[in-house]
């Protein structure tokens, strides 16, 4: 994990240092949610605020490399287990705060022009590698006065884990230097306790796909081009 983190930091710094070509710095605002043992199918389950910053190194109108630091959280409860007849567990809610660092390669489906003369848009896909930091908090929600003694709330657990990020979106140029996008990014993790529950295999219709938790970011970005005039090619404006 340490080696992966070092490599990602190195790639991110290299991304900034190579910004003599056209590149962008930007911000992201949106929502985060998750799929896993306690939510196997519902998209946008209890969405939470998320935000981030990124740098995009533009290789050409078709390809780019984006380094991003994104904050979000996932929230919910274990009512799915209780509804499936699990009588030997205590009701609880969870709130996992997370920050991940990712580097992704982007492919534009159309030539994304860098010109005020011809505003352009393009769908795109992205994929790469990342590492995440997770602060996992779990709170039992039973009424101690009615039920009696039960488990105490555990201390929050902090952990790091590798993630595989990929996503889809649409980019739009607003002006010569300003651009934006709508995006939906996925994070495949290699852990199964973001929701306070691990390795549930006996729930009806349990999905092996979601045995390792996933989380998602949906939102908008706003980016500003830097070193733009040094690299503008007249051929791209035709």
Q: Which domains does the chain have, with CATH numbers?
A: 2-237 (2.40.160.20)
> What secondary structure does DSSP assign to 112-154, as a single string?
----SSS--EEEEEEEEEEEEEEEEEEEE-S-HHHH---PPPP
pLDDT band at 230 (very low <50, low <70, confident <90, very high): very low
Residue 185 has pLDDT above 60, yes or no: yes
DSSP state of 169: E
Higher-scoring residue by pLDDT: 172, 112: 172
Q: What is the pTM (predicted TM-score) of this model?
A: 0.76
Tokens 């534009």 belong to residue? 108
For residue 102, the model assigns a pLDDT of 95
Higher-scoring residue by pLDDT: 55, 45: 55
- For residue range 113-137, list pLDDT tens digits in order: 766 566 688 999 999 999 999 998 8
CA pair distance 206, 202, nearest whole angstrom: 7
Structural contact between residues 111 and 61, judged by C-beta atoms closer than 8 angstroms? yes
pLDDT band at 31 (very low <50, low <70, confident <90, very high): very high
Structural contact between residues 87 and 101, judged by C-beta atoms closer than 8 angstroms? no
């Amino acid at each position: 994990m340490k080696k992966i983190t070092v490599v990602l930091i190195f790639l991110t710094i290299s991304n900034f240092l190579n910004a003599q070509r056209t590149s962008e710095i930007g911000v992201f605002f949106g929502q985060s949610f998750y799929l896993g043992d306690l939510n196997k199918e519902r998209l946008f389950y209890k969405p939470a605020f998320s935000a981030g910053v990124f740098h995009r190194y533009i290789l050409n109108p078709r390809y780019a490399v984006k380094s991003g630091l994104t904050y979000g959280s996932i929230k919910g409860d274990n009512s799915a287990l209780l509804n499936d007849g699990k009588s030997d567990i205590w009701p609880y809610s969870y709130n996992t705060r997370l920050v991940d660092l990712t580097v992704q390669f982007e492919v534009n489906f159309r030539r994304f022009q860098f010109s005020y003369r011809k505003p352009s848009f393009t769908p795109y896909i992205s994929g790469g590698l990342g590492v995440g930091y997770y602060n996992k908090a779990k709170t039992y929600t039973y009424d101690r006065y009615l039920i009696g003694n039960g488990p105490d709330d555990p201390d929050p657990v902090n952990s790091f884990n590798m993630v595989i990020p990929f996503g889809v979106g649409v980019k739009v140029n607003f002006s010569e230097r300003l651009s934006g996008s709508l995006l939906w990014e996925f994070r495949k993790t290699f852990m199964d306790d973001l929701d306070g529950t691990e390795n549930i295999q006996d729930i009806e219709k349990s999905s092996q796909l979601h045995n390792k938790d996933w989380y998602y970011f949906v939102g908008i970005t706003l980016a500003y081009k830097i070193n733009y005039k040094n690299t503008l090619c007249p051929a791209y404006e035709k």
